A and B are shown apart, each in its own frame.
Chain A
Amino acid sequence: MTAVVSRIRITSLQVFCAVLVAAVLLQGLITSALDAPAARTASTVFVAVCVQALPFLVLGVLLSALITAFVSPRVLRRVLPRSSAAAVPVAGLAGVVLPGCECAAVPVARRLIGQGVAPAAALTFLLAAPAINPVVLVSTAVAFPGEPGMVGARFFGSLATAVGMGWLWTRLGRAEWIAERARRRVDNADRQRWAVFAETARHDLVEAGGFLVLGALFVAVLGVLLPASWTDALAGQLVVAVLVMALLAVVLALCSEADAFVAASLTTLPLLPRLVFLVVGPAVDVKLIALQAGTFGRAFAARFAPATFVVAVLCGTTAGLLVLGGAR
């Protein structure tokens, strides 16, 4: 009897089919449940965020897969300075030319560590790539047409966050905080590169896509739950506004290519809190924390995420005061 039971193992494919069949059978029920005006608005916003952000995520995983498959670790080691304190700013600037979604930057950083790049440099890349790549900067410029300073302020704030965290890791970080599986060296020099490319892109898309959907759910639910005038209450209080926007960036977990448009729509707030929102978002948010805990281990995420939050708020505020010339 036990033999029979152990043979009937339920696989995810069977669960998947059961959910599909149930959803099709209950379609009428689901549709009428979503017919309440608030639920309808939330479901439209949810699909809109998914449809809008998925192309950006696809672009991100394709680029990250290209790097993974075609940029050899040996070249990376030759390019990066030997001292990790000197490698950190180089890795930060590499984030500019090697664009990727924040979700896709996590596996890339893990692979860099696996191939012997100093963790401080890889983590700087992890923070820099999603925040200051050309796609993000262009979409920020599009979202703030009248404020060219926002692009520069976002660039310097995010770069300072990434480099600052790298140097902080050089001084205080310990390799054993990173889970052993992430530090393990992967030898794939003689594998087919296109196979590595396709497999990395597919894997990253499946994994990161789930967290993207989670972010879209948050946006849709919060959009319906938060009254529209909630930002009005923050208008006069700059310090509170900066902190609330920083926390909002963590909770909303928007894709870095799309967050500028959300920040642009909060017209009642001054520019500084909205800039902090843009600097904090790509560096630390709920879906990134979950991804980092899954990739590098909980001991790592529990130390890295809070430290990044503090550094990002400080760097974002400083960049805003310097580049934008005040709170505005």
Chain B
Amino acid sequence: MRRETQHVLLLLLGGALIKITLNGDYLRYVRPAHGWWVLGAGVVIVALAGVGVLRDLRSAPADVTGHAGHAGHSPWLLMLPVLAIFLVAPPALGADAVVRSVDANVVAQRAPEFAPLPDEPAPRLELSDVVARANWDRSGQLDGREVTLTGFVVRRGASVQLVRLAIVCCAADARAVRLRLDGPLDVPADTWLEVRGTVRTGSATAATDHVPAMTVHAAHVVAPPPDPYEY
């Protein structure tokens, strides 16, 4: 691949990284803390391409490092993420990724004691927080408490689940956090819902794959949040 082509490719690649950090799309792919890294990498890539262009304009490309000028065919692959980001902009992972992953909630007891629930009617909680409490909290503070949760719908046969994906680093390591919804709900998969209800005591056991069940009092469709994952 010629040097000019490499410069254009790097400009587009760096531009793609800068674009997704500025418009917030990076939250579909990596955790928020990674945003500065992505932006920095985009700026450095654009700068390296810019320096290359300037040096080539001023003089014939001098081979200062002993590298061959043509870098083989592997750089062509860099077009794939550029095209994917600019033309396709893949959405955040949804119901398909959940159906592909294991059925059970992977629950690890992190803290032996849970912080008291917020003192307000139907507090908004993270889905992974509620699932952890339903599995491990023996203080009974979740029993009969009405809570508000946000997640997307995954249908498994007759049952409807409210799901969030939790990521450690990027979407490649996403893990599903599930809650079964009991109530007349007729919404298609991948619909984002805000649900108010109570978690049924003792519903999260090894027999239910650690998936708790919720009695739904109210549910309405909401727009997908800009930050689709839990961490």
- 18 residue pairs from A and B, CB less than 8 Å apart: A11-B2, A13-B8, A31-B88, A40-B90, A44-B93, A47-B84, A51-B170, A52-B30, A58-B40, A111-B66, A199-B65, A202-B51, A202-B52, A203-B67, A211-B74, A229-B102, A261-B169, A262-B173
Chain A residue numbers with a CB within 8 Å of B40 are 55, 58
User: Given the interface contacts A202-B49, A294-B72, does A143 sit within 8 Å of B9 by beta carbon?
Assistant: no
CA gap between A114 and B93 in the complex, in Å: 47
Interface of A is mostly: helix
Within 8 A of A (CB), among B1-51: 1-2, 4-6, 8-10, 13, 17, 20, 26, 28-30, 34, 37-38, 40-41, 44-45, 48-49, 51
Which one of B2, B55, B84 contacts A43 once the chains associate, using CB atoms below 8 Å?
A: B84
Interface segment out of the listed B75-83, B178-186, B215-223: B75-83
Chain B residue numbers with a CB within 8 Å of A58 are 40-41, 44-45
Best-buried of B6, B64, B93, B97 by chain A (most CB within 10 Å): B64
CA gap between A232 and B6 in the complex, in Å: 44
Contact assessment for B173 and A265 in the assembled complex, using a CB-CB cutoff below 8 Å:
yes
Which one of B28, B64, B79, B88 contacts A195 once the chains associate, using CB atoms below 8 Å?
A: B64
CB-nearest residue of chain B to A27? B87
Does residue B122 face the partner (Cβ distance < 8 Å to A)? no
Contact assessment for A44 and B173 in the assembled complex, using a CB-CB cutoff below 8 Å:
no
Known contacts A37-B95, A210-B75, A258-B170, then 19 further A-B pairs from the complex at CB < 8 Å, ordered by chain A residue: A13-B5, A24-B87, A38-B96, A40-B91, A44-B28, A44-B29, A44-B92, A51-B26, A107-B67, A184-B66, A191-B64, A198-B52, A199-B67, A207-B71, A209-B13, A210-B77, A211-B74, A217-B77, A261-B169
Contact assessment for A13 and B4 in the assembled complex, using a CB-CB cutoff below 8 Å:
yes
CA gap between A114 and B78 in the complex, in Å: 29
Within 8 A of A (CB), among B102-125: 102, 106
Does residue A224 face the partner (Cβ distance < 8 Å to B)? yes
Does residue A205 face the partner (Cβ distance < 8 Å to B)? yes
Which one of A111, A219, A261 contacts B168 once the chains associate, using CB atoms below 8 Å?
A: A261
CB-nearest residue of chain B to A219? B172
Interface band, chain B:
35 or more
Interchain Cβ contacts within 8 Å, total number:
202
Contact assessment for B67 and A41 in the assembled complex, using a CB-CB cutoff below 8 Å:
no
- The distance from the CB of A183 to the nearest CB of chain B, in whole angstroms, is 12
Chain A residue numbers with a CB within 8 Å of B55 are 195, 198-199
Does residue A83 face the partner (Cβ distance < 8 Å to B)? no
Best-buried of B26, B29, B74 by chain A (most CB within 10 Å): B74
Contact assessment for A68 and B41 in the assembled complex, using a CB-CB cutoff below 8 Å:
no
CA gap between A265 and B83 in the complex, in Å: 29
Residues of B within 8 A of A (CB): 1-2, 4-6, 8-10, 13, 17, 20, 26, 28-30, 34, 37-38, 40-41, 44-45, 48-49, 51-52, 55, 62, 64-67, 71-81, 83-85, 87-88, 90-93, 95-97, 100-102, 106, 168-173, 175
Best-buried of B8, B45, B51, B92 by chain A (most CB within 10 Å): B45
Does residue A62 face the partner (Cβ distance < 8 Å to B)? yes
User: Given the interface contacts A201-B48, A210-B78, A228-B102, does A44 sit within 8 Å of B171 by beta carbon?
Assistant: yes
Does residue A196 face the partner (Cβ distance < 8 Å to B)? yes
Which one of A47, A55, A143, A224 contacts B37 once the chains associate, using CB atoms below 8 Å?
A: A55
CA gap between A107 and B68 in the complex, in Å: 12
Contact assessment for B96 and A261 in the assembled complex, using a CB-CB cutoff below 8 Å:
no
- The distance from the CB of A267 to the nearest CB of chain B, in whole angstroms, is 6
Contact assessment for A12 and B87 in the assembled complex, using a CB-CB cutoff below 8 Å:
no
CB-nearest residue of chain A to B36? A55
Chain A residue numbers with a CB within 8 Å of B81 are 46-47, 50-51, 213, 216
Interface of B is mostly: helix
- The distance from the CB of B228 to the nearest CB of chain A, in whole angstroms, is 11
Does residue A251 face the partner (Cβ distance < 8 Å to B)? no
CA gap between A199 and B66 in the complex, in Å: 10
CA gap between A51 and B90 in the complex, in Å: 12
Chain A residue numbers with a CB within 8 Å of B44 are 58, 62
Q: Mark A31-66, 1 if CB is under 8 A from B, else 0.
A: 100100110110111111111101101110010000
- The distance from the CB of A251 to the nearest CB of chain B, in whole angstroms, is 15
Contact assessment for B76 and A210 in the assembled complex, using a CB-CB cutoff below 8 Å:
yes
Best-buried of B9, B29, B79 by chain A (most CB within 10 Å): B29
Contact assessment for A51 and B20 in the assembled complex, using a CB-CB cutoff below 8 Å:
yes
- The distance from the CB of B202 to the nearest CB of chain A, in whole angstroms, is 25
- The distance from the CB of B97 to the nearest CB of chain A, in whole angstroms, is 5
Chain A residue numbers with a CB within 8 Å of B2 are 11-13
Contact assessment for B88 and A186 in the assembled complex, using a CB-CB cutoff below 8 Å:
no
User: Given the interface contacts A262-B172, A264-B168, does A23 sit within 8 Å of B52 by beta carbon?
Assistant: no
